[in-house]
Structure 1
Amino acid sequence: MQTTIHKIDLRNLYLDDFRALRASMSKAYSATSDLLWEEDEIEKLLTVFPEGQLVILADGKVVGAALSIIVNLRDFKANHTYQEITGDSSFSTHNAEGNVLYGIEVFIHPEYRGLRLGRRLYDARKELCETLNLKSIVFAGRIPNYNKVSDQYTPKKYIEMVRMKELYDPVLTFQLNNDFHVKKVMKGYLEGDTASEDYAVLMEWNNIYYEESPKLINAKKSIVRLGLIQWQMRPLNNLEALFDQAEFFIDAVSGYGSDFALFPELFTAPLMADYNHLSESDAIRELAKYSGSLREKFQEFAISYNINIITGSTPHIDEDGKLYNIGFLCKRDGTSEMYKKIHITPNEVAHWGMVGGDTIQTFNTDCGKIGIMICYDVEFPELSRIMADQGMQLLFVPFLTDTQNGYTRVRNCAQARAIENECYVAVAGCVGNLPKVNNMDIQYAQAAVFTPSDFSFPTNGVKAEATPNTEMTLIVDVDMDLLKELHEFGSVKILKDRRNDLYEVKLKK
């Protein structure tokens, strides 16, 4: 990551963005003025189709854009040009009654490449296509590396070799990796494109939810995908080795389109091996020195892999010298928040001198409101009930248990929290052993996602579970709309049927 980013925003383009848009474009196109947009062109585009113009901002700076119009592709020749599809940049070709979203521009500022921001723009385009009930997304993509091998391969052969990963093309490879397929090769699409030898590839992404009727697809996200990481404790040489292992799993679960990645409690413990000659309390305070680096790196991962990451937990020392068991929610928009373990186990007090946090809170995410409780906290039902009253629908529980007895307590309590609070509960723990780390020698875990118990859910309240004591990931889809139906129409209505005239659970002021 070349640039530190604190906040990522993706929104529609406004005319006031033009100067910043052009500045980023000039960097993306090496100041080639022929490829830069003029203000009157952007104004026309925003007049005919404002919702189709997207920009991505890093800390308020425009660093990328994706521009589009709607057309009926059959109204154009198979070998149309860029000027024809845009009406010589008048955009008179835009047809609100068309069935194809046609991409006419996409770019990312070079200093912000490598963060998968282009993919985020494409995902937003796909959502727009589904929302507007359009049949597909189509555009003509350049093949800028073709000129290097044009004396050896035909365009058809070149495309096939890029598809098979035998050659790399910065545009075509990206499009193929984003589920676009080749419709045809066109000659003379973009005047002066010598790098592509005047060729372009007409690409298409099909909307599988397209309906011939004018009914719009509900744009609200109801299916949330969870990626649970059952982490194997193993010797690690340094912090970078831990980050490499963590990134492997983040890459894996994000590759399946997960909205969240959940790491276990104290998964950073292997780094204590270097301090095993110290007392247990001193060793864990040395480990606590990594908490700031952990937050920074996982924020970077959240942006780069477009996923919300719950970092399990790690020790942390506050400004008063108190030792806490904390974790971070690193959101894919670049922001992050800290949570603290509230209930500290007798072991954590006796061996490490930890203290408990004093904040019960929920967190707003792009997938709804979530709660996070670390291990022992899930055994205290008051916490999750307060979170449920605050609107929590997803509860994440990173845990660490050394015996099956301890795991049983966490598991059964987590299942109870799912039922009584009409929510989903995801738990993930560490497995394996660390013989060279005192007080962290053995672990027992089985990651799982638990559900309420009603007809729309599994009869045993278990949506999915991992193989016990085996390093693996667990990818699980949960339907948020089912929780709404349960709350209103369930065979029992636990949250509604509480006797608030007799008792209540509330925060102390």
Structure 2
Amino acid sequence: MLYSQYLYQDDKPFKTTIRNYNASDFNQLIDIQKECFPPPFPSDLWWTKDQLANHVHIFPDGAICAEVEGELAGSITTLIADNHGEDHTWEEVTDNGSIGTHDPNGNVLYVVDISVRHKYRKTGMGKLLMQSLYHLVVHLQLEAVLGGSRMPGYEKVKNQMSPQKYFEGIITGEHNDPVVSFLMKAGRSPIKLLPNYLDDPESDDFGVLMEWKNPFLEKRKHFF
């Protein structure tokens, strides 16, 4: 995958290149993780070089990054899975981030991670990375993009309501979650809560299962 597009920051355009990441990018990818997921997010969930090496070896098409003037601005990592609409954990589906569970005969593209440097947020960088997955799903003729999202905004209201109530409030617009709401704006639909999805105190360990269906397949399997 390799293409370029202009994004805007403070009304000024800048060129962004979307490409597959490789071993020369590993240090920057780890730095992005540290920046995007500071404590209380567990540091042992940041990428390691061994995990990144697995990504580019097992499913190089699904290891995608955004580059601006030689600097990595963000990344998105995926694997192919066989459905996974049922309850599951991030560790189970992603082989704890190492994607040893990648199934080339599966029917969905599962999102392992998306990260964008702070200085490139609100430029459309995250949406551009998500769009790269939509292109990939269409190209590979898969049925959907599927994945569990964090909902870190729950941290601020968890003493006032249940995770389900917060989830429902995101869908109605009562709550604006930094991750779930962003993914909705990028085209993915929230389906349901996943309990004990990830060791993530801000989300009270819940994930939100989110989907984008490939509209170019004549016969699609509906998971829900």
TM-score over 0.5 (shorter chain): yes
CA distance, structure 2, for counterparts of residue 169 and residue 90 of structure 1:
27
Task: Please say if residues 5 and 58 of structure 1, whose CA atoms lie closer than 8 Å, have aligned partners that are also in contact.
Answer: no
* Residues 118 and 89 of structure 1, relative CA distance in 2, 3 Å threshold: closer
Give 1:110 shift: 0.6
Give 1:155 shift: 2.2
> What does residue 34 of structure 1 align with?
44
CA distance, structure 2, for counterparts of residue 172 and residue 90 of structure 1:
24
> Structure 2 counterpart of 1:78, which letter?
E
> What does residue 151 of structure 2 align with?
143
Give 1:36 shift: 1.3
> What does residue 280 of structure 1 align with?
none
CA distance, structure 2, for counterparts of residue 159 and residue 34 of structure 1:
27
1:204 to 182, 192, 211: 211
> Structure 1 counterpart of 2:210, which letter?
M
1:55 to 62, 65, 68: 65
Larger radius of gyration: 1
1:103 to 108, 111, 114: 111
> Structure 1 counterpart of 2:81, which letter?
V
> What does residue 158 of structure 1 align with?
166
> What does residue 11 of structure 1 align with?
19
Higher relative contact order (CA 8 A, sep 6+): 2
Give 1:21 shift: 1.3
SS in 2 for 1:22: helix
Task: Please say if residues 5 and 59 of structure 1, whose CA atoms lie closer than 8 Å, have aligned partners that are also in contact.
Answer: no
In the alignment, does 2:30 pair up with 1:22?
Answer: yes
CA distance, structure 1, for counterparts of residue 195 and residue 169 of structure 2:
19
Count of equivalent residues: 210
Identical-residue share of aligned pairs (%): 31
> What does residue 89 of structure 2 align with?
81
> What does residue 94 of structure 1 align with?
102
Give the TM-score normalised by the residue count of structure 2.
Answer: 0.87
Give the TM-score normalised by the residue count of structure 1.
Answer: 0.39
Greater displacement, 182-191 / 136-145: 182-191
In the alignment, does 2:189 pair up with 1:181?
Answer: yes
| Residues 461-476 of structure 1 aligned to structure 2 (within 5 Å) | none
CA distance, structure 2, for counterparts of residue 100 and residue 144 of structure 1:
25
Give 1:121 shift: 0.4
Give 1:171 shift: 0.5
CA distance, structure 2, for counterparts of residue 44 and residue 24 of structure 1:
18
**Which stretches in structure 2 are left out of the alignment for 5+ residues?**
1-8
SS in 2 for 1:73: coil
Give 1:58 shift: 1.2
Task: Please say if residues 167 and 193 of structure 2, whose CA atoms lie closer than 8 Å, have aligned partners that are also in contact.
Answer: no
CA distance, structure 1, for counterparts of residue 96 and residue 180 of structure 2:
25
User: What is the root-mean-square deviation of aligned Cα atoms in Å?
Assistant: 2.1
2:177 to 156, 169, 184: 169
CA distance, structure 2, for counterparts of residue 150 and residue 102 of structure 1:
28
> Structure 2 counterpart of 1:85, which letter?
V
In the alignment, does 2:53 pair up with 1:66?
Answer: no
